[in-house]
């Protein structure tokens, strides 16, 4: 970037950078800087009658008020902010006052990282602060933060444009309070689930992201090419079939936090890469898994929020077990008045027409039922509800229902009008599984680009024998949305997928024209 392309502030900061170097001050020192105190802990533990506490703190300068021989600034570290008091004569006890007059007053800016050694005290205004005895420049910031100056000090300008926030998440985290807390809660959700699974002896595993066959779900994959092997490979759409191979191999319980990829649309609840937790437990069925899912979500809510009630928009979601259970056919009948049980493909197309549900010739029975449920029912389930017993055509990896051969032992957990979790009594009959895959192949030839491939190696694994097993997958991004009260998946992803910046700018210019 040439100096002509820089803003006035950026030019000024680069000049300050050179001046620091000319003074013999390294603006990016390599030495370790040992921190002994953090803002939140310092303020929480301070006692007025306690002995003077010496601390070393480090962080980013967020505000400054210079008043002649003294100054105040706010330092932001990983846990919050703390006020710093600086006296010229304390940091420059001799005749040379250059560190204060030149470095601090003229060459340091909001956004710079500094280290402060000093002691904790309470100011006359009652604010717990650190009295500086030594100041060290740790990193010079060359771009100004989005701030606006007022007469009485400095306040943050609104950095609220979602396009800018998601594209420059690092700035969003610096200047917008509460953003970091969303991601800390997200991590606590993962930790809470790991704690539960590990306590039961289930094993966390890793399975391939690059797969020769995209299996385990019905979705459109991303395709790439492996040069050395000269074969196409797919980014995984799910890890289900690999986890089941491990059950075949003798593990009784396995789980994985899986980064999955689907080459499909983007909206407020979908991103092309997303995180799913999948868990498979031998000798269990979907009834057991429903109870386990209830216990897991209740625990996660208590661990992360301290309550099982979660406010999302105008809705208060209650994660206290037990959750309501209703079959898919009952749910469709409840919300449309139509009983689809036993209907063939032509009858389902007629129902779609009556209900004004979009359809096309590539859709089989399962896809038609899925469209009816998605359009007319899914959004109605606000409180956690298990939708159970899906038609067989919708669930090619799921065990046939023990009392109705047209259905499967499957549930999806609906919360706040969206699917949160999906679970089966897993199909472990290799002959039945091969027939289901062949039905999917027919759909693929018919034009359904989300139909499953036939995974011959997985079928071979099943032929060695897989015990009765229940598996469950839960969308971690959607769970994070729920427990942090967010309505957009982009708010719980550090770096959501965005249109390339040049393409976005070009599109904006075309719209303005």
- H, E, C per residue of 302-345: HHHHCCCEEEECCEEEECCCCCEEEEHHHHHHHHHCCCCCCCCH
Predicted confidence (pLDDT) at residue 33 exceeds the cutoff of 70: yes
Residue 219 has what pLDDT?
A: 86
**How far apart are alpha carbons 336 and 330 in whole angstroms?**
10
CA distances from 88 to 56, 83, 104, 116 (A): 18, 16, 9, 14
Predicted confidence (pLDDT) at residue 513 exceeds the cutoff of 70: no
Range 202-209 average pLDDT: 97
Confidence of residue 512 (pLDDT cuts 50, 70, 90): very low
pTM for this predicted structure: 0.89
282 beta partners: 469
Residue 298 has what pLDDT?
A: 97
Query: CATH classification of 188-323+383-497, choosing from 3.30.930.10, 3.40.50.300, 1.10.40.30, 3.40.30.20?
Result: 3.30.930.10
Nearest to 411 by CA among 381, 438, 437, 441: 381
Which of the listed ranges 3-17, 190-204, 261-275 does the model predict with the highest average pLDDT?
190-204
**How far apart are alpha carbons 216 and 453 in whole angstroms?**
9
Nearest to 141 by CA among 169, 122, 113: 113
| Torsion of the alpha carbons at 385, 386, 389 and 391, rounded to the nearest 10 | 70
CA 122 to chain centre: 39
Peptide bond into 138 cis (omega under 30): no
Range 66-83 average pLDDT: 95
Helix pair 476-484, 179-199: axis angle to 10 deg: 120
Residue 439 has what pLDDT?
A: 81
Residue 1 has what pLDDT?
A: 57
CA distances from 450 to 192, 215, 363, 370, 417 (A): 33, 10, 10, 13, 23
Q: Which long-range contacts (CB under 8 A, 24 or more apart) does 461-467 make?
A: 461/244, 461/245, 461/248, 462/244, 462/248, 462/428, 462/429, 462/430, 462/433, 463/430, 464/248, 465/248, 465/428, 466/244, 466/247, 466/248, 466/426, 466/428, 467/247, 467/282, 467/283, 467/428
Predicted confidence (pLDDT) at residue 240 exceeds the cutoff of 90: yes
Domain boundaries, given as residue ranges, for the chain:
3-157, 188-323+383-497, 332-378
Predicted confidence (pLDDT) at residue 39 exceeds the cutoff of 60: yes
Predicted confidence (pLDDT) at residue 325 exceeds the cutoff of 50: yes
Helix (H, G, I), strand (E, B) or coil at 377: coil
**How far apart are alpha carbons 81 and 38 in whole angstroms?**
9
Confidence of residue 44 (pLDDT cuts 50, 70, 90): very high
Predicted confidence (pLDDT) at residue 503 exceeds the cutoff of 60: no
Phi, psi angles (nearest 5°) of residue 437: -60, -40
**How far apart are alpha carbons 36 and 50 in whole angstroms?**
18
Residue 447 has what pLDDT?
A: 66
- Architecture (CATH level 2) of domain 3-157: Beta Barrel (2.40)
Confidence of residue 98 (pLDDT cuts 50, 70, 90): confident
Q: Which of 157-166, 282-291, 348-357 has the lowest mean pLDDT?
A: 157-166
pLDDT tens column, 449-502: 655 678 899 999 999 999 999 999 999 999 999 999 998 999 999 999 998 887
Provide the mean pLDDT of the chain: 91
pLDDT tens column, 109-121: 999 999 999 999 9
Report the share of the chain in percent with pLDDT over 90. 77
Nearest to 141 by CA among 272, 9, 235, 22: 9
Tokens encoding 259: 């980064």
Tokens encoding 177: 């309070």
């Amino acid at each position: 970037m040439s100096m002509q392309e820089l803003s006035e502030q950026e030019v000024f900061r680069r000049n300050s950078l050179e001046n620091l170097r000319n003074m013999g001050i390294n603006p990016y020192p390599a030495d370790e800087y040992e921190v002994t105190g953090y803002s939140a802990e310092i303020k929480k533990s301070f006692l007025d009658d306690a002995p003077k506490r010496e601390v070393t703190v480090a962080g980013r300068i967020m505000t400054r008020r210079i008043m002649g021989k003294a100054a105040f600034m706010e330092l932001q570290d990983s846990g919050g902010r703390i006020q710093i008091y600086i006296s010229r004569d304390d940091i420059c006890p001799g005749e040379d006052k250059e560190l204060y007059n030149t470095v601090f007053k003229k060459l340091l800016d909001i956004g710079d990282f500094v280290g402060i050694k000093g002691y904790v005290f309470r100011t006359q205004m009652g604010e717990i602060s650190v009295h500086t005895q030594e100041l060290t420049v740790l990193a010079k910031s060359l771009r100004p933060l989005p701030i606006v100056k007022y007469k009485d000090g400095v306040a943050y300008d609104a950095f609220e444009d979602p396009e800018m926030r998601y594209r420059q998440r690092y700035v969003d985290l610096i200047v917008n309070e509460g953003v970091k807390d969303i991601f800390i809660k997200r991590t606590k959700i993962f930790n809470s689930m790991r704690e539960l699974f590990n306590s039961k002896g289930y094993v966390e595993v890793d399975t391939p992201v690059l797969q020769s066959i995209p299996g385990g779900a019905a979705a459109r994959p991303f395709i790439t090419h492996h040069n050395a092997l000269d074969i196409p490979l797919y980014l995984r759409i799910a890890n289900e079939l690999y986890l089941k191979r491990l059950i075949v191999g003798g593990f009784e319980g396995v789980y994985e936090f899986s980064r999955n990829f689907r080459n499909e649309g983007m909206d407020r609840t979908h991103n092309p890469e997303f995180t799913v937790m999948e868990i498979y437990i031998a000798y269990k069925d979907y009834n057991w898994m429903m109870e386990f899912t209830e216990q897991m979500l209740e625990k996660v809510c208590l661990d992360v929020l301290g309550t099982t009630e979660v406010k999302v928009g105008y809705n208060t979601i209650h994660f206290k077990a037990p959750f309501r259970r209703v079959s898919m056919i009952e749910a469709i009948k409840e919300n449309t008045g139509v009983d689809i049980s036993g209907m063939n493909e032509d009858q389902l197309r007629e129902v779609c027409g009556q209900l004004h549900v979009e359809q096309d010739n590539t859709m089989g029975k399962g896809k038609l039922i899925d469209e009816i449920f998605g359009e007319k029912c899914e959004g109605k389930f606000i409180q956690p509800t298990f939708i159970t017993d899906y038609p067989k055509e919708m669930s090619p990896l799921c065990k046939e229902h023990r009392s109705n051969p047209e259905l499967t032992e499957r549930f999806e957990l609906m919360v706040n009008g969206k699917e949160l979790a999906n679970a089966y009594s897993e199909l472990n009959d290799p002959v039945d599984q091969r027939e289901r895959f062949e039905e999917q192949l027919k759909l693929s030839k018919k034009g359904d680009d989300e139909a499953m491939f036939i995974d011959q190696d997985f079928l071979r694994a099943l032929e060695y024998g897989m015990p009765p097993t229940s598996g469950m997958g839960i969308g971690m991004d959607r769970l994070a949305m729920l427990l942090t009260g967010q309505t957009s998946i982009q708010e719980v992803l550090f770096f959501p997928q965005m249109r390339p910046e040049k393409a976005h700018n070009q599109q904006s210019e075309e719209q303005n024209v």
